[in-house]
Amino acid sequence: MKTNLFYRWIHISIIVCTFGIVLSSCEKIEEIPPRQEGSADRAYKMPDPTPLTIDELTIVEQIREEYKNNVN
């Protein structure tokens, strides 16, 4: 009888601790990050493309040929 009561108190204390942890961990979260001044005015510029070298072109052609040969 005493062990039954002891285990019941353990279960109740675990439930209360879990409930307390859940309630204390809930806080108001901002869904939108804080706005920085001047960030809306800036535009992102992609870097200018550079032409491929002869070696890179041959590698690309080899990959294309390998793909064509293996697809069919």
pLDDT over 90, % of the chain? 38
Q: Is the pTM of this model over 0.85?
A: no
User: Tokens at residue 54, please?
Assistant: 């002869």
Residue pLDDT, tens place only, 35-51: 777 666 677 788 899 99
Residue 34 CA, chain-centre distance (Å), reads: 19
Say which residues have a Cβ less than 8 Å from residue 60's Cβ, sequence separation at least 6.
52
Q: How far apart are CA 62 and CA 8, in angstroms?
A: 72
